[in-house]
Structure 1
Amino acid sequence: MATRQAQRSTVGFAAVRSLRLQTIIALALAVFLPVLIYFNENPLLIMRSHTGFNTLVGASIATFAAYFMAHRVTAFPGTSQLSYILPTYAISYGAVAAVILMGRFPYSATILLINFAATTGVQILVSVLAERQIGFELFVVPGGRVAQLNGVDGLDTALLSAPSVPRAKRAILVADLHHDHCDDWERAIAEATLRGIPVYHYKQVLESLTGKVRIEHMSENMFGSLLPSLNYARTKRAVDVIVTLLLLPFLALPMALVAIAIRLESPGPALFLQSRMGYRGTPFKVIKFRTMRCEDPAKKADARDAAMTKKDDDRITRLGRFLRRTRIDELPQLFNVLRGEMSWIGPRPEAIALSEWYEGELPFYSYRHIVRPGITGWAQVNQGHVTNLDDISAKLQFDFYYIKNFSYWLDVLIVFRTIMVMLNGFGAK
């Protein structure tokens, strides 16, 4: 029996069904009911009251929007539906309230707040009850590279010993569909499909549970399938510029104060510039707040060693540790975003010396440069800061997953997780 989180990631249709049911219940109990109670003398008055009608329509739109957002975001690995109910409902209700205020439509703030609290509460309650009902058994067809599933934490599977169709009510069949199975196993897989039992290629299961795409052979993985959407890339670039221009006026003063504090704490410039490998393999100068003491040129280590930040690195200043933990040291990269060298979200750019080393040791490493590097990214929110080759290999698989699933909704999920990372300091060095 797989863990609930793993089961939900692997079998998305079950989560969609339960989430849709939860939203219908939330609409009925937490949107319509409070409004009807408000007009308890005659429920039909809601249709004649602009205030009540606008509030009801707005709350319904916000609830459906929250459902859609939660459904898309929780389709990715490692996402708990419960964790994203409050932020998605807050965003959708906030957006609806903003439209109502800008349009100067009559509405009841009291009813809208009651609807927000009620829908969120009902959604959380129903989600808890629904999660207890979700359970699937994963049966593995022997042969090929299905043994890689054994390395997934929290995943329990049953290896089939003979060519047969599982009898469990919520069975899922997993196989290496690229393997040349014998005729009996091929018939069993076909029969399972005819009976309505889901059949997954083992790599689909690995990707959905780990959030990684493993690259082993170019012919096997077909790089063409990993090409990111060019249309979304253009939209993403426009959003990067607009968001940066909107934020800069608000961040200018805090950034100036941070720069002054850095200069007061230790001698040297407030900003740190370093050559890193960028979009399509073009080097650029990344801009960050300096978090380390300036080194004596006579004692400077080789380029690769100097580019690595070790655990409890004694070069980091006291203020620098705070800036790194909260990711405030990354804020000057807004100017890299404006210049088109970076995006808000994407694979983190590596120092030139490290990038050349990794490229020489890890197959297909340079493919991560197919999208703009980011201030934050999928690997950062899942893995944190790493430098050794084994961890970089895992990081590369996170990067490939991001490129393969390059989309607005994955970026939204990364934004949510980045906020949590900034609050708890995960992965900082």
Structure 2
Amino acid sequence: MQQNLWQYLSIRILIGWLLVSIIPALLLFWSFIVTDNILITQVNSVIVSSSAIVFSLIGLERLTQFPGQKSMVTVLPTLLASGLLAGLILLIFRLPYSVYYLLFSAVLGVVFCFISQVVLRAVTQVKIGYVPIGRYQSLLDIKNVTWVKLSKDFQSVSHQHLPFHAIVADLSDHNLCSGWEQVLAESALQGTPVYNILQVNESLTGRLPIKHLYENNLGSLLPSPSYLLIKRLMDTIIVLLSMPVTVPLAILVGIAIKWESRHSKSTVLFKQHRIGQGSKLFTMYKFRSMLPDSEQNGAQMATSVDVRVTKFGSFIRKTRLDELPQFINVLKGEMSLIGPRPEQLDFVRQFNETIPFYRYRHIVKPGISGWAQVMQGYASDEDETKLKLEYDFFYIKNFSLTLDLLIVIKTIQTMVTGFGAR
């Protein structure tokens, strides 16, 4: 299937560079250009603007490769990160620059990137043909995809350009006869990619199925040792740099909790044993958001309407402010800012017995926020936990800085909207 020109990153970069960097330079610096009297200030400004728009578009391209995320949410954070990086370079090297040009360019950059993402979403309507055998039914529940059922008389050789972005089939099903295999082979020869059903399911849902985990390479669930080290360093630096903001905020939250529970003897902090990396036990800290006797009958999963949660506790759970004390766990190396949420010991013992491959989620450090939290929210029963585990496996398999940055962006969105809070 032929792609729309706007789907090519190189086209978007070229047009963005012309509109955001070159045209403003021509408008503001034209008199200097025609007199051949261009200043170093103007050259620096154009270089910085060009670098910022290129890095922004590349960053947006990388972030939108992950399934289930809303492209528009990533625009401002990506532009802000590029702008801050450009500003730091100017300040560190003390380079002269044009304030008016950079402001004009920045406004055009925001407008262009938003319009670019709107157009990109409009032209990127995925159409996939599927072979109706095996486990294809699970695909039809995936939204934002046009599914086209193929018939046995489908002749791919008669199509110069097939009307699909891809064709999917359950390649492990014994009903995949030689006739279907010929159709798939001819489609691939004409340039239409043919995927196994598990690959497509994973890439469109952001989940790695656990029932057939052996069909995926278990080795891919081993995270990069080098990125683990970088991630540990970044976690520590971010927590330390954020302390001027988080410490006063934590004090205010603690005072509010103490005031709400002034007639009881409950503590501000809530401590609980959780399972961390390598199935090691550690003590996790949270701000108390439930009544003091909330677990007097043993560990319980939170529900959407939980009577154990206090009024102020409901607010800090929705905004994730109850997680602030876990910065202590991050500094101690027991947790990361991003990763699968740590579970209680009782639940881990139960899920180890009932959910296949559950132990694999402990390959990486647990996190304050994670892919499962921003995509699904909290799990309240075993079925939701199985779904959550599929998100966790997807995160571990795609363990990278890009995915972590996307989770940070979506976590901020979650804090504003209260998605998934219980």
TM-score of the aligned structures, taking structure 2 as reference length:
0.92
Structure 1 counterpart of 2:105, from 115, 128, 134: 115
Q: Deviations over 1:335-373 (max 9, x none)?
A: 101111100000000111122222221111111010000
Q: Deviations over 1:361-403 (max 9, x none)?
A: 1111111010000000000001111221111111010001001
Matches within 5 A, 1:66-215: 66-162=56-152, 164-166=154-156, 167=159, 169-171=162-164, 172-180=166-174, 181-215=176-210
Matched, 1:356 2:346: no
Q: Which amino acid aligns with 1:69?
A: G
Residue 255 of structure 1 and its aligned partner are, at CA, apart by 1.3
**Contact 1:39 1:45 (C-alpha < 8 Å) held by counterparts:** no
Partner of 1:27: 17
**Contact 1:347 1:368 (C-alpha < 8 Å) held by counterparts:** yes
Q: 1:47 to 1:231 in 2, by over 3 A?
A: farther
Show structure 1 runs of 5+ residues with no match.
Answer: 1-10
Partner of 1:389: 382
Q: Deviations over 1:276-313 (max 9, x none)?
A: 111111111100011112118xx921x233xx222332
User: Match of 2:199, SS?
Assistant: helix
Q: Which amino acid aligns with 2:319?
A: T
Residue 261 of structure 1 and its aligned partner are, at CA, apart by 2.1
CA distance in 2, matches of 1:123, 1:262: 42
Partner of 2:285: 287
**Contact 1:140 1:146 (C-alpha < 8 Å) held by counterparts:** yes
Partner of 1:48: 38
CA distance in 1, matches of 2:200, 2:375: 18
Q: 1:239 to 1:126 in 2, by over 3 A?
A: closer
User: Match of 1:48, SS?
Assistant: coil
Q: 1:381 to 1:219 in 2, by over 3 A?
A: closer
Aligned length: 413
CA distance in 2, matches of 1:136, 1:289: 44
Q: Give the stretch that moved more between structures: 28-37 or 339-348.
A: 28-37
Partner of 1:3: none
Partner of 1:278: 276
User: Match of 1:304, SS?
Assistant: coil
Partner of 2:319: 326
User: Match of 1:234, SS?
Assistant: helix
Residue 209 of structure 1 and its aligned partner are, at CA, apart by 1.2
CA distance in 2, matches of 1:16, 1:224: 36
Q: Which amino acid aligns with 2:33?
A: P
CA distance in 2, matches of 1:384, 1:247: 25
Residue 136 of structure 1 and its aligned partner are, at CA, apart by 4.2
CA distance in 1, matches of 2:361, 2:6: 31
Q: 1:136 to 1:45 in 2, by over 3 A?
A: farther
Q: 1:207 to 1:57 in 2, by over 3 A?
A: same
**Aligned-pair identity (%):** 38
CA distance in 2, matches of 1:252, 1:107: 36
4+ runs of 1 displaced by more than 4 Å? Answer: 13-16, 44-47
Partner of 1:245: 240
Q: 1:269 to 1:75 in 2, by over 3 A?
A: same
**Contact 1:138 1:174 (C-alpha < 8 Å) held by counterparts:** yes
CA distance in 1, matches of 2:372, 2:104: 38
Q: 1:135 to 1:323 in 2, by over 3 A?
A: closer
Q: Give the stretch that moved more between structures: 209-218 or 332-341.
A: 209-218
**Contact 1:78 1:211 (C-alpha < 8 Å) held by counterparts:** yes
**Contact 1:165 1:189 (C-alpha < 8 Å) held by counterparts:** no
RMSD after superposition? 2.2
CA distance in 2, matches of 1:45, 1:336: 61
Q: Which amino acid aligns with 2:401?
A: Y
Partner of 1:5: none
CA distance in 2, matches of 1:356, 1:16: 50
**Contact 1:192 1:198 (C-alpha < 8 Å) held by counterparts:** yes
Partner of 2:255: 260
Structure 1 counterpart of 2:305, from 312, 315, 334: 312
**Contact 2:341 2:367 (C-alpha < 8 Å) held by counterparts:** yes
Q: Which amino acid aligns with 1:137?
A: K
User: Match of 2:101, SS?
Assistant: helix
Structure 2 counterpart of 1:300, from 280, 296, 302: 296
Q: Give the stretch that moved more between structures: 97-106 or 188-197.
A: 97-106
CA distance in 2, matches of 1:236, 1:335: 16
Q: Which amino acid aligns with 2:267?
A: P
CA distance in 2, matches of 1:276, 1:387: 17
CA distance in 2, matches of 1:160, 1:395: 32
Q: Which amino acid aligns with 1:177?
A: L
Q: Deviations over 1:183-214 (max 9, x none)?
A: 22222211111111121221121111110000
Q: 1:224 to 1:97 in 2, by over 3 A?
A: same
Partner of 2:371: 378
